[in-house]
Amino acid sequence: MRPFRSRRIPAGLLAPALVAAALSLAPVAYLAVRAAEGGPRAFADVLARARTAELAVRSLGLAATVTAACAVVGISLAWLVIRTDLPGRRVFGVLAALPLAVPSYVAAYTWVAAFPAISGFWGSALVLTLCTYPLVYLPVAAALRRMDPAMEEVALSLGRSRASVVLRQLRPAAAAGSLLVAMYALAEFGAVSIMRFDVFTTQIYTSYRAGFNRTPAAVLGLLLVLVTFLIVLAEARSRGRAAYALGGSTPRRASVVRLGPARTPALAWAAAVAVPAVGFPLGSIAFWLVEGSSRGVAAAELGAAVGATLGVSAAGALVTGALAVPVGIIAARHGSRTARFVEQAAYVGHALPGIVIALSLVFFAVRYAYPLYQRWPLLVLAYAVLFLPAAVGAVRASVLQSPPVLEEVARSLGRSPLGAIRQVTLPLALPGVLAGTALVFLTAMKELPATLLLRPTGLDTLATQLWTETGSGSYGAAAPYAALLMLLAAVPGFLLGMREVR
Amino acid sequence: MTGLTVSEITKAFDGPPVLRGASLTVAEGDLTAVLGPSGCGKTTLLRVVAGFEHADSGSVRLGEWEVTGLPPEKRRVGIVPQEAALFPHLSVARNVGFGLARGGAERVAECLELVGLGGYGPRMPYELSGGQQQRVALARALAPRPRVVLLDEPFNALDRSLRGTVRDDVRAALKRAGATAVLVTHDQEEALSMADRVAVMRDGLIVQEGTPASVYEDPLDLGVATFVGEAVVLEAVSVQGMVSCALGRLAQRANGVAGRGTVALRPEQLVLSASGSPGVVERVEFFGHDAAVTVALDDGVVVRARTRAGAPHRQGDRVGVSVEGAVLFYPSAG
């Protein structure tokens, strides 16, 4: 039967989905409005400052360095793990994905606490590389697994090197991963701020905190959005039109490359990544926990932070989950222009730095909704904008798994379009909806920049406490927060692992 | 009284029309099979009747009730989809009761009884075999007493060995319920054996409609003849009710046409004996209940005959081929 792609979206679905879309687009739109208010002069002022050029150089320099380093680390590790006889390659394969679970500011804290002299550009670059290289490693490893070994054999038989064809085939995966790294590095706030390295995001925060005139912050924010957008565009352009996945047949299992005498250096390289990326943060936190406990931890403060974190994150997750349901259903079931608009609007939060979204919401609240300013609903909305993409993805995937013919049967048995969704599609998609909401909950608990800007006065989450304590050099006091955050970060990975084992 | 009247339905998605004025009438209580090759538009026709697609023009009536513009939930049309499509999160009883108002427990039990699954109510769909799921899907469609039940190739997903019995069960349940039903299928055997009437569909049109026997015996044209049942097709010339072809001069079934054209013979009309047109047995295919014997006639034409399984033909044997009964003749186009 032809896939059921109904043209008309039921109003009961479209209305909340449009709200979600509007909410997602509002921050950038309002930022533009707010920045434009200063007129061209304000723009010119900010742009003409030597400081702005310096910031741009620092931000882009950091992003470029981290991206290049991640490409080298990610591709080399993926090749070693998937295609060679590297000893213990399974273990290295698991270890290589783990750093993704370490919040970058927690990693930054562990390094600064151990080597205070590391702060600055190289410290930031080191921490971000160690935290984000899995974004390159994972897609490249997947591509290597899928690659047809016949192509390598053809290259060898034609007198070309193995690398010539392998690298060419890996380009789309490596480029997509590198794009994510670059966007991550540009949007990063916590780690660079702990490393005391001034970039766009930290400058936005400072100028927002410091000045009565907040227009420069808005202009800087808009500039950051623009740079991010240009990078996305450049990546899409460079992808070109070559087709990489040819044919539908499952390729043969690739032959394993024997490392021979290169085994020892290869092993050293894999260890040289795994130890600082996974072992060091864990060891450092353990050390400071022991060190700090001798001085006594403020249990009340810790408890309050845990409570506050759970509270705002749960509220954020519920709102995000509720908004994601209509958007996800529309994305899965409808193909109209409206449907595409709603889906793409919901993904905007993916590309926006948290600090920019927070800034825009602050501006909006100060001007139009002052009672909301520095109250938790605003923070919850920021979480919704930031994490809607993840939740929508989960809902969409689970709705796609329930066949549309079930909705048709329900319609023929007397249900309205909305009734069919409520009684058939939603119950079937519920596990996915819950998983998406849980994922948002766990991610929101680790969120730093938006929480820092939007939290109600006096409310501290685990993330903001860690940031504050690290800022004042109390590494021992920060340790329990770091440990709890690491624990939280491990939960999704653990659950995903459980699911795969089953 | 008519159960379902479909008039002059046209429908195009982006591209050439899928339905080009399809019309179909089903008498109340009848089971009509819409038979056609894949891509002929039969599933689209079904979806138009159910209300999942809106026709570009034409009308659908249930009895005297015009439902053309109504959404599916207002039509009282039951559907049995290809792969049963039971709601996986609901028990069998709640699946069957889905279209009923609250407290329809009695009707649920009645409908399960009707399809021979009394007592299966508390089970979950995944605990049932494919054939049982298909019968539950039928009970679910019948429960709210629809005006017409639509079955979309409902036996496709079943094992060949299971298909026969499930077909019988489904037909029996439909008859007991007195339901008006339309079965869409590309399987001519299924259509001929199950349905009260067969509607042959081609290129978005119903080209012939009648009882299974009449459609088989008197196909409208060569296309229908070869699609509905096997046919041996030979070049021929018809003069005054007699057809001359490689198998001799044969009596023509009266259809008032003559000249150059094609003759279509059913394989069971060919008889192998010592007399008739001479040839050599090329191949014998044994099917159990019968066998197909391919004979190369001396003048080069190759024909395939159906014989009883025990017939003593071997590859290389010389045989004669003669024809029993009147034959179908169709003039060449143009």
* pLDDT at residue B132, rounded to an integer: 92
- Which residues, at least 6 apart from A296, have a Cβ–Cβ distance to it below 8 Å? none
Contact A112, A100 (CB under 8 A): no
B305 pairs with which residues across the strands?
B293
Q: Residue A56: helix, strand or coil by DSSP?
A: helix
CA dihedral A261, A266, A272, A273 (to 10 degrees): 180
Quick one: pLDDT band at residue A268, thresholds 50, 70, 90?
Answer: very high
φ/ψ (deg, to 5) at B25: -125, 130
Q: Which of B72, B81, B98 sits opposite A1 (nearest CB)?
A: B81
List, as ranges, residues 359-418 from A with C-beta within 8 Å of B.
403, 405-406, 408-417
Question: Which runs of consecutive H residues, i.e. helices, occur in chain B?
Answer: 42-50, 92-96, 105-114, 130-142, 160-177, 188-194, 212-217, 222-227
Nearest chain A Cα distance for residue B9, angstroms: 19
The residues spanned by each domain of chain B are: 4-223, 231-331
* Cβ–Cβ below 8 Å for A1 and B77: no
Q: By the CB < 8 Å criterion, does A2 face chain B?
A: yes
* A251-255, B15-19, B298-302: segment of lowest average pLDDT: A251-255
Nearest chain B Cα distance for residue A498, angstroms: 23
* Cβ–Cβ below 8 Å for A412 and B140: no
* pLDDT at residue A3, rounded to an integer: 40
* Cβ–Cβ below 8 Å for B77 and A410: no
Q: Which of A406, A411, A414 sits opposite B87 (nearest CB)?
A: A406
Contact A291, A476 (CB under 8 A): yes
* Greatest Cα-to-Cα distance within chain B, rounded to the nearest angstrom: 74
Considering chain A, what percentage of its residues have pLDDT values greater than 70? 91
Cα separation of B238 and B249, whole Å?
A: 9
A291-327 pLDDT per residue, tens:
766 566 677 888 899 999 999 999 999 999 999 999 9
Q: Which residues of B touch A429 (CB under 8 A)?
A: none
Q: Which of A403, A417, A427 sits opposite B85 (nearest CB)?
A: A403
* Cβ–Cβ below 8 Å for A413 and B152: no
Q: Which residues of B touch A405 (CB under 8 A)?
A: 81-83, 85
Q: How many CA atoms lie within 13 A of A203 on its CB side?
A: 24
A323-376 pLDDT per residue, tens:
999 999 998 888 888 888 888 888 887 778 888 888 888 888 888 878 888 888
φ/ψ (deg, to 5) at B135: -70, -35
Cα separation of A91 and A279, whole Å?
A: 13
Contact A220, A46 (CB under 8 A): yes
Q: Residue A39: helix, strand or coil by DSSP?
A: helix
* pLDDT at residue A496, rounded to an integer: 58
Q: How many CA atoms lie within 13 A of A423 on its CB side?
A: 20
Give DSSP secondary structure letters for A421-432: IIIIIHHHHHHH
φ/ψ (deg, to 5) at B219: -65, 150
Nearest chain A Cα distance for residue B82, angstroms: 8
B21-52 pLDDT per residue, tens:
999 999 999 999 999 988 899 999 999 999 99
Q: Which residues of B touch A417 (CB under 8 A)?
A: 71
- Which residues, at least 6 apart from A167, have a Cβ–Cβ distance to it below 8 Å? none
- Please enumerate, as own/partner, the contacts of A494-499 that have beta carbons within 8 Å and a separation of 24 or more: A495/A438
Contact B63, B19 (CB under 8 A): no
| Pairing, β B148-152 against β B77-80 | parallel
Nearest chain A Cα distance for residue B259, angstroms: 43
Between B85 and A232, where is the model more confident?
B85
- DSSP class of residue A47 equals H
* pLDDT at residue A2, rounded to an integer: 40
* pLDDT at residue B1, rounded to an integer: 66
* pLDDT at residue B313, rounded to an integer: 80
User: Which of B315, B319, B307 lies closest to B277, judged by CA?
Assistant: B319
Using CA coordinates, name the residue in chain A closest to B80: A409
Q: By the CB < 8 Å criterion, does B89 face chain A?
A: yes
Which residue matches tokens 């979206």? Answer: A9
Contact A466, A310 (CB under 8 A): no
Superfamily in which the B4-223 domain is placed by CATH = P-loop containing nucleotide triphosphate hydrolases (3.40.50.300)
User: And the tokens for A196?
Assistant: 């005391």
Contact B61, B131 (CB under 8 A): no
- Which residues, at least 6 apart from B140, have a Cβ–Cβ distance to it below 8 Å? A409, A413, B78, B86, B95, B96, B98, B99, B111
How far is residue A397 from each of residues A17, B4, B254, B327, measured CA to CA in Å?
Answer: 17, 39, 61, 58
Q: By the CB < 8 Å criterion, does B136 face chain A?
A: no
Helix (H) or strand (E) holding B62: strand B57-62
B90-146 pLDDT per residue, tens:
999 999 999 988 778 899 999 999 898 989 999 999 999 988 999 999 999 999 999
Quick one: pLDDT band at residue A248, thresholds 50, 70, 90?
Answer: very low
* pLDDT at residue A126, rounded to an integer: 95
Which residue matches tokens 């179909």? Answer: B24
ipTM field: 0.84
Quick one: pLDDT band at residue A247, thresholds 50, 70, 90?
Answer: very low
* Cβ–Cβ below 8 Å for A411 and B71: yes
A107-163 pLDDT per residue, tens:
999 999 888 888 899 999 999 999 999 999 988 888 888 777 777 777 777 777 777
Q: Which of A414, A424, A428 sits opposite B99 (nearest CB)?
A: A414
List, as ranges, residues 423-452 from A with C-beta within 8 Å of B.
424, 427-428
Q: What is the CATH number of domain B231-331?
A: 2.40.50.140
Would you put residue A418 in left (φ > 0), alpha (ψ -120 to 50) or beta? alpha
Cα separation of A177 and B41, whole Å?
A: 45
- DSSP class of residue A101 equals G
* Cβ–Cβ below 8 Å for A411 and B43: no
